A and B are shown apart, each in its own frame.
Chain A
């Protein structure tokens, strides 16, 4: 009975094994926080003033004015929507060969490195930098925005496609290879069914992203609703700006709902 009396204790082993290092990190974090708060100078007078100004600023957004600038808002929205759709379609079409080449289990080494290079370059620059670049190359307007979003889409979609292909079930792919299928038939029968549902979902997600980004690229001259929004701010027409923001929110929410619905449907 005496063995039963001794209870064996168990505690979850700590994440950092070395106790000195563990305690040292806690002490270091505490010192850092103390120093950080110590060096922060808060001018409470300015905070009070700013709060009041902020309230006035926000109040200027209400009520949103859809009417007085409706023509340019409508034009901006339509431009943005076209930019979104064309850049998503073109970007996805271009990203498919890049994505196939960038999947390690599909392509041979030089092609793999080349395609990974394309993806890395297009992913390095955020859409806004690409837009500035294309505005300089092709001038102001939605064409520059379209190019920026297309390149951004290639980087996004190509990388995720490549990764999805790398994660596919190799046995299904092996089975189709074993029946003597051609390479394209193999893609069509073994690879495509495995990656398709996720890629449709990601395509819609990218449509969503491209719409939001289309508002951003407009600010640097890439056309679309962003340009309209910038003009509204420049003219201090905050009520029109509020209307634009509400429309953007509305469209993003609509896309969100649709994408959720479609993703469930394709599974």
Chain B
């Protein structure tokens, strides 16, 4: 579904944010991208929909190469990619419904959107999605009246009403409490499952990543240093991604759930790519 080849990003400040990143995500796969702050997670997903312009390399959405699209083609491509943000990024003074419907802007002409005359099918879809996340009674509330968890749900609806092929999710739980974080992660993963959506989820909470994603990619200083299933995350891997720390407590929980882990530990280490 998504193929990233040789992606490089230099910021004008001289930061080398992404170093020749290769990544391929098949349809329906939820991938958690973990790594310390400043590792380039956010840059990576923003290079996919070109909110950040990559310096070089290619990004394929299906067969479509994204890095050289002109502005009109880029708009079409963006409408096929839903994005969910850390601080929800709802337009605060618009209503919940307007925020959800704004996900259709790529498919609706200017005057229709200006007079809020969206096609009935979009409105039905919006109500269905809001109902799915339990917020249909809030449709006419202003977005800034909602709590954090509710806002993120609206953000999810906005991304899904685009009917995307791919979800780009940037730290969806960073501003939420632990319980809401889990609910939001569960919701995102369920919806991806239902709709066979590929998703990249940036997340710095290793535990959450292990709980919900079937594939974990570890990014460190712009380089992928781990790519494998969550069960294979061990102290060595985490040390490689984040640096020296006592990781036993972090992975304890997963070990309880999966006792066969120990026997696999040896060949897991061989899967690691060296740090450049």
Given contacts A174-B89, A180-B75, A182-B75, 19 further A-B pairs with CB under 8 A are A169-B92, A175-B83, A175-B155, A175-B158, A176-B91, A177-B51, A179-B78, A179-B82, A180-B76, A181-B105, A182-B105, A184-B110, A184-B114, A185-B105, A185-B114, A188-B113, A193-B94, A194-B93, A197-B93
B150 sits at the interface (CB 8 A): no
Complex CA–CA separation, A174 to B76 (angstroms): 16
- Interchain CB contact under 8 A, B89 and A172: yes
B49, B93, B113: the one within 8 Å of A178 (CB): B49
Q: Are A182 and B110 CB-contacts (below 8 A) given A171-B89, A176-B105, A193-B93?
A: yes
Binding site for B on A (CB under 8 A): 169, 171-172, 174-182, 184-186, 188-190, 193-194, 196-197
A177, A185, A196: the one within 8 Å of B110 (CB): A185
Q: Are A180 and B78 CB-contacts (below 8 A) given A171-B87, A175-B83, A189-B102?
A: yes
Interface of A, secondary structure class, is: helix
Give the total of B residues in contact with A, Cβ under 8 Å. Answer: 32
- Interchain CB contact under 8 A, A181 and B75: yes
Q: Which of B77, B93, B103, B104 has the most C-beta atoms of chain A within 10 angstroms of its own C-beta?
A: B93
Q: Are A176 and B83 CB-contacts (below 8 A) given A184-B110, A193-B91, A197-B93?
A: no
B29 sits at the interface (CB 8 A): no
Q: Which of A179, A188, A189, A190 has the most C-beta atoms of chain B within 10 angstroms of its own C-beta?
A: A179
Complex CA–CA separation, A189 to B106 (angstroms): 12
Complex CA–CA separation, A54 to B87 (angstroms): 64
Q: Which of A176, A178, A188, A196 has the most C-beta atoms of chain B within 10 angstroms of its own C-beta?
A: A178
Complex CA–CA separation, A193 to B90 (angstroms): 11
Q: How far is the CB of B85 from chain A (nearest CB, A)?
A: 6
Complex CA–CA separation, A189 to B116 (angstroms): 10
Complex CA–CA separation, A235 to B87 (angstroms): 66
- Interchain CB contact under 8 A, A175 and B78: no
Complex CA–CA separation, A185 to B113 (angstroms): 7
A171, A174, A179, A186: the one within 8 Å of B79 (CB): A179
- On chain B, the residues within 8 Å of A193 by CB distance are 91-94
- On chain B, the residues within 8 Å of A180 by CB distance are 75-80, 105-106, 162
- Interchain CB contact under 8 A, B102 and A179: yes
- On chain B, the residues within 8 Å of A177 by CB distance are 51, 78
Which residue of A has the minimal Cβ distance to B106?
A180
- On chain A, the residues within 8 Å of B192 by CB distance are none
